Chain A
Amino acid sequence: MPKLLTGAEIVFKCLEDQKVEHIFGYPGGAVLPIYDELKNHPSIKHILVRHEQGAGHAAEGYARSSGKPGVVLVTSGPGATNVVTALTDAYMDSVPLVCISGQVPTHLIGTDAFQECDTTGITRPCTKHNWLVKDINDLSKVMHEAFRVATTGRPGPVLIDIPKDIQFAKAKYKKPNKEKKLNGKSHNKFSQDQIDELVKLLSKAKKPIIYTGGGVINSGPKASQALREFVELTGFPITSTLQGLGAYPGDDNQFLGMLGMHGTYEANNAMHDCDLLINIGARFDDRITGKIDEFSPNSKKVHIDIDPSSINKIIKVDLAIVGDVTSVISKINKTIAKRKNGHSKSNKSNIAKWWEQIEKWREKDSLNFVNSDESIKPQHAVQRLYELTKNKDAYVTTEVGQHQMWAAQHYKFNKPNRWMTSGGLGTMGYGLPAAVGVQIAHPEKLVIDIAGEASVLMTMQEMSTAVQYNLPIKIFILNNQYMGMVRQWQELLHEKNYSESYSEALPDFMKMAEAYGCKGIKADSPSELDDKIQEMIDCDGPVIFDCHVDPNENCFPMIPSGKPHNQMILGPNDQEENKIKGKGKALV
């Protein structure tokens, strides 16, 4: 007779078999049996956060920087509802999370018991799948399936709700089933014919562009490798979404920068004018496409994605290839190489004119800004941060807003998994706890949260977590005293009615750092910026860096809502020009 284990023991057995090393959590009444069991499993380290949302975002940072699923452990009721924002965030950005929540004992479910809520009901729309375990004999199977669902196909969050009596009940433990069967759903559904068709399109294209997204990162480091080979083989220009940054080196000449609402002039114009658009692991998000009717009007469109429901959801495509990015691109590369053996004709000469056009767009230098000697321009601050950290293989997280866009524009990433930002849901307060998770996964690396002062205040309490575990995260706050992106929209579209976007009574971040027991650094003028940044990098503990920047700076270039890619607003210099032509206003 095999040994019977309690539910709590089974939970840890499963985590061990799934090779989980860290869990982010917060204890409470309905998960106490699991917390009681923690001490018997030294291979699993628990990170105590200060709010369950922080646990979720930390697990996201952990997952996105390491490629492993992030594990969250929370109690019933408020514990579960607090983690909902992070689950939704992970769902939107396809981050693998496994969230274990406690629940009131089964006989109390439905009675409005203390700290009871319908957790599986609440989280159903924001998880890939969730389970309420009502029978102890199902627990090990459900746990293993949860990891499989979270990590296979398009990754995403899952939740397992375990009532307290199930944590005490006893059953046999079942090892994970090696057989992989998701109702017969396989992920690679492409054929060689489709690859051949794509290669044919490649050879005919005169104005091609490659547009990559987070799918390349999610597919693992091999995907980035294959992508680099593909770009080299074809000589095509490449642009990336916010989530895809780092899959292709940001400082390479074939890289046109980020595209979309705050993308570069060259990337967006290339998207608009191209005759072949190859989408690899991106989803035609509305921040990317702008006006759908006028999106890339003259191009053949190819979409490579692991999720069939992403295809034709927003933009109709001519060729859809459903599969894992690594497998698809490797296959394409092989096919191209084979063809080239036959006749060494490359189509690089076909696209020489296209590159000339792109160079002309590049001359606009759309990320340019008017620098100042008196006040620190936020773009300048990000550029200096990049220059001083670029050789340190830094990991960067962000909050949401102007600073996020400036970070995406001016910080160049050369490797995948180095850039963690909330793109789909746009969760202010994501960056600080995400940095905690990243630092847990990479204890020796430099981890920076490029933050805004409004965002960072939403999850500031996690500084306490960073101090407790001595995680040397650097919180680099571009402090402009405004909710900057809100202020920018109000300036451009709501007649400068700055309704509630100014933060009165901001805390003194230096004193805050002191209160949390970490280092505080403040920079006011451009002349001291470099030294202060260096001081931050050299500090071996957590740092809050309060960088006072010009409060009136706007994030350009920008495609206003409902406009196509070729109608961008450029920086202040260009606006002057536009005013003279009388065009500036119409563009807003």
Chain B
Amino acid sequence: MLLRSLKLHIIQCGFAPVVLQVSRTCSNMPLSDTHQSPDNAVSGKQVKSERKLVVPSNSRFIYPEFLPDPKMEWRNSLREKLERLDMIQRRKHIDIPEFYVGSILAVTSSNQHAPNKATRFVGICIQRLGCGLRANITLRNVIKHVGTEIKYQLYDPTIQKIEVLRLEKRLDDELLYLRDAPNEYSTFDENMEAEYLPEGTPVPVNTTLVKLKPRPWRARWERKNMKGLADLELEERFYKRAEELATPWEKYDLMKQYRRTIPEEEQKEIFAEVCSELHEVEVMRKKLKRKKVFVKPTRSS
């Protein structure tokens, strides 16, 4: 039996790192941590007793790719169902964590030309597109003063690992304007350490306002009604034209909205179908995470 003293890093609310020193504990014994164990024990029991799971109301934000394309001509219930099965199958092999546009991710994917056959790319998620097996994300970072973006298919079999380094949201659903922003807005350290959010805290919203470089831009951002942009400092005529082209009535077009969403009843059906499996995957991930934290060796001083 190995007796070791271990350090456990847990980041609590407010991102203040607290170091717990656990001495004389067996590595393969369950952790008697006061913060974590009750939660896990409860969730473990839930799976075993197979109690009817309540679909969490925020599923549609966490797993948006499980909702099918709302375009009616392309709907096909059988294809959608098969895709969901495949997605769950894939999620059992790699951990696709909860993340949002604005979160900082690290994706490790197979690369036969790399020396260790894998590349790790760290970047901010600027766009999340597609549904079903075609769901994809775009990561952006500035590497050696060059803005770099990589689009990853979430369910691509060559992806080995997806880590969330910082879980947060931004003010907008798309951060494509970072392309026209100075480099410091999208520069992230490649060796950045993952920040852990405690269980149950709401996802923090990063309210930084991005100050764009002067024109020309890749899009006319003054017309896009973006919330995360600082004052654009344009001439009056640009704002006038933007006002001319605005479509304020669109928010009243009830049927347009309807055709762009999946109705609540259908969403419930879909998530009820995948809920139990997703929950299992979640529990597994938590266990793995705990193990990883445990295994991390530190030099005793």
User: Do A and B form a real pair?
Assistant: no
